[in-house]
């Protein structure tokens, strides 16, 4: 789980709070060489109340790798549904909305998912959400909460997030001065905890309030010495440099520079959630990128978390209600 969100969940012992002795945390910690997700292929479903699934969608650049991840997650959730698990929380991504000229910001949860063709992680995240619809229809008693966070900052950010937050990219798109939106991993974790504690149902955007204007972005990253070119040229240059391994980010960043994705968080705020970091604070708190393991060409380090409640009384009470 070598991503800002996975890192925070794995290392923050206060994720569920130290006052919750009835909750244990098991992480599959999918590893490029070992596919540890198979370790929980047949968990003790009788002891499990909820499943939380997440993957590093921002780092997926290969569709086949991403679809394999979707298949693993969907199969485990389907098995949980058959076993009578009551609640599923899935962390998707706001990238699934797509970055389009016709998109009206801020984007609300009822907007259609139209991921860009060069954002593989967004495409497979949208595919997982579609799979969840079928799983839920087959298990009408299951509550499914989907969180769609903005680009996630914090410890070990994705190259895509850094390309936007810190300007880690070889070229700029001419005349594109987007107001960007981010979210700190700690705030996504707090949304996950709220979803579990309040048994949230439905889709919720997760992001810092407002946006980060272009002028403040320049102040945060300092002067940039790189050419500004048209969007098509920028895409070709970034794609080629990415193929050569010269640049850590490819052409997937271009749509986000031209047409940024900004989401509304009123729905989650209505459940008493508030981001602890502003967009500016999230950028300032973000550590530089560290070497990341890669899985085939995808660069994905993903994981699935199973939340197991040891108390059988709670499950019995749910069945009796």
**pLDDT classification of 289: cutoffs 50, 70, 90:** low
- Scan for tokens 């969007």, then name that residue: 231
- Residue 307 has what DSSP assignment? E
- HEC profile of 97-124: HCCCCCCCCCECCCCCCCCCCCCHHHHH
Q: Is the pLDDT of residue 313 over 70?
A: no
Average pLDDT, the chain: 81
For residue 47, what are the CA distances in angstroms to 139, 153, 227, 311, 312? Answer: 19, 33, 57, 7, 7
Class (C level, CATH) for 4-169+180-212+264-313:
alpha beta
Cis peptide, bond prior to residue 166, ω within 30 of zero? no
Which residue reads 């060409």 in tokens? 297
Of 217, 238, 216, 219, whose CA–CA distance to 227 is shortest?
238
Task: Please give the pLDDT value at position 293.
Answer: 36
Least confident of 32-36, 178-182, 198-202, 255-259: 32-36
Q: Between these two residues, 53 and 202, which has the higher pLDDT value?
A: 202
321 vs 270 pLDDT, higher one: 270
Q: Where do the structural domains in the chain lie, given as residue ranges?
A: 4-169+180-212+264-313
pLDDT, mean of residues 138-152? 95
What is the pLDDT averaged over residues 226-239?
Answer: 91
Integer Cα distance of 110 and 126 in angstroms: 14
Q: What is the greatest pairwise CA distance in the chain?
A: 65
Of 148, 192, 159, residue with least CA distance to 286: 159
SS3 205: strand
Q: Take residue 234 and report the two structure tokens written for it.
A: 């920028």
Q: What is the DSSP letter of 47?
A: G
With H, G, I as helix, E, B as strand and everything else as coil, classify residue 153: strand
Residue 197 has what DSSP assignment? Answer: H
Greater pLDDT, 227 or 204: 204
HEC string of 260-291 equals: CCCECCHHHHCCCCCCCCCHHHHHHCCCCCCC
Does residue 292 register a pLDDT over 50?
A: no
Non-local CB neighbours of 237 within 8 Å, separated by 6+ positions:
170, 171, 229
3-state DSSP assignment of residue 160: helix
DSSP code, position 180:
B
Q: What is the average pLDDT across 52-74?
A: 92
Q: d(Cα 183, Cα 190) in Å, to the nearest integer?
A: 11
Residue 39 and residue 26: Cα distance in Å, rounded? 10
Across residues 200-226, what is the average pLDDT?
A: 91
Query: What confidence tens digit (pLDDT) does each residue in 150-191 have?
Result: 999 998 899 999 999 988 888 989 988 889 999 999 999 999
Q: What is the predicted pLDDT for the residue at 20?
A: 44
Distances (CA, A) of 150 to 105, 200, 242, 276, 280: 13, 19, 23, 14, 14
B/e letters for 78-114, b = 16+ CB within 10 Å, e = fewer, are bbbbeeebbbbbbbbbbbbbbbeeebebbbebebebe
Where helices occur in the chain by DSSP H, the ranges are 4-11, 63-82, 120-138, 159-165, 185-197, 214-221, 231-243, 254-258, 266-269, 279-284, 312-320
Helices 4-11, 185-197: crossing angle, 10 deg rounding? 60
């Amino acid at each position: 789980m070598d991503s800002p969100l996975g890192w925070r969940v794995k290392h923050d012992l206060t994720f569920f709070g130290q006052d919750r002795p009835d909750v244990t945390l098991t992480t599959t910690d999918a590893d490029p060489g070992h596919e540890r997700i198979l370790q929980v292929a047949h968990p003790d479903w009788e002891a499990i109340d909820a499943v939380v699934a997440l993957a590093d969608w921002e780092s997926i650049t290969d569709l086949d790798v991403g679809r394999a991840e979707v298949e693993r997650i969907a199969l485990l959730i389907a098995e949980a549904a058959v076993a009578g698990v009551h609640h599923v929380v899935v962390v998707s991504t706001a990238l699934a909305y797509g970055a389009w000229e016709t998109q009206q910001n801020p984007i609300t949860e009822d907007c259609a998912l139209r991921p860009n063709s060069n954002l593989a992680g967004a495409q497979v995240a949208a595919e997982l959400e579609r799979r969840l619809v079928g799983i839920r229809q087959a298990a009408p008693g299951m509550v499914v909460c989907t969180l769609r966070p903005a680009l996630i900052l914090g410890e070990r950010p994705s190259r895509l997030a850094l390309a936007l937050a810190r300007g880690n990219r070889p070229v700029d798109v001419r005349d594109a001065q987007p107001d960007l939106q981010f979210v700190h991993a700690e705030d996504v974790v707090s949304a996950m905890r709220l979803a579990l504690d309040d048994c949230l149902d439905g889709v919720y955007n997760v992001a810092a309030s407002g946006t980060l204007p272009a002028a403040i972005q320049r102040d945060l990253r300092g002067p940039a010495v790189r050419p500004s070119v048209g969007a098509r040229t920028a895409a070709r240059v970034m794609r080629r440099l990415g193929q050569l391994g010269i640049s850590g980010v490819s052409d997937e960043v271009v749509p986000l520079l031209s047409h940024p994705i900004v989401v509304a968080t009123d729905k989650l705020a209505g459940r008493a959630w508030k981001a602890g970091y502003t967009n500016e604070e999230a950028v300032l708190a973000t550590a530089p990128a560290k070497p990341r393991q890669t899985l085939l060409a995808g660069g994905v380090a993903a994981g699935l978390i199973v939340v197991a409640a040891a108390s059988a009384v709670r499950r019995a009470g749910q069945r009796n209600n």
